[in-house]
C-alpha cells in the first residue's frame, strides 16, 4: 500500500464553490471527482475506484451509474459479437 502524498494546488474560490458547499468537504469532493473521471475515462477499474473511495465495488458501480457513468459501455455490435463468442464456447463445452 502506498503512502498518501500531499500536494498544493491553487484553485479559484469561484471554482471551489462549485465543488462543495462547505470548505471542509472540498478535499474529499475533489478526490471523488478525480476518481470518477479516471473511471469514466477507463484509466482505472471499478474495483480500484471503489477501493480509492472506500466503497464496495457494486456500491461504486451503482453510484457511478446514478451519475450517468455506465458500467457497460458497449455498442450493440460489440455486445452481439461477445454473445456469439459466448455461445460458441458454451456449445464446445457441452
Digit-coded pLDDT (tens) for 31-44: 999 999 999 999 99
Q: How many domains does the chain have?
A: 1
Q: With respect to residue 17, please indicate whether it lies within any of the assigned structural domains.
A: yes
Contact 53/35 with Cβ under 8 angstroms? yes
Q: Which of 7-11, 15-19, 49-53 tops mean pLDDT?
A: 49-53
Residue-wise pLDDT for 34-82, tens only, equals 999 999 999 999 999 999 999 999 999 999 999 999 888 777 888 888 8
Identify whether 85 is part of a domain. Answer: yes
Look at residue 6 and tell me if it is in a domain.
Answer: no
Residue 88: inside a domain, yes or no? yes
Distance of alpha carbon 17 from alpha carbon 12, whole angstroms: 9
Give the list of residues 6+ apart from residue 74 with CB closer than 8 angstroms, or none.
Answer: 82
Residue 4 lies in a domain: no
Name the residue range of residue 34's domain.
13-93
3-state helix, strand, coil in the chain (%, to 5): 65, 0, 35
pLDDT score recorded for residue 1: 60
Amino acid at each position: 500500500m502506498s503512502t498518501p502524498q500531499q500536494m498544493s494546488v491553487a484553485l479559484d474560490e469561484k471554482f471551489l464553490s462549485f465543488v462543495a458547499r462547505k470548505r471542509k468537504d472540498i478535499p474529499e469532493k475533489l478526490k471523488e471527482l478525480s476518481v470518477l473521471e479516471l473511471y469514466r475515462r477507463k484509466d482505472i477499474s471499478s474495483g480500484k475506484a471503489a477501493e480509492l473511495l472506500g466503497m464496495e465495488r457494486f456500491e461504486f458501480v451503482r453510484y457511478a451509474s446514478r451519475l450517468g457513468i455506465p458500467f457497460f459501455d458497449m455498442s450493440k455490435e460489440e455486445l452481439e459479437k461477445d454473445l456469439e463468442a459466448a455461445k460458441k464456447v458454451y456449445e464446445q463445452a457441452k
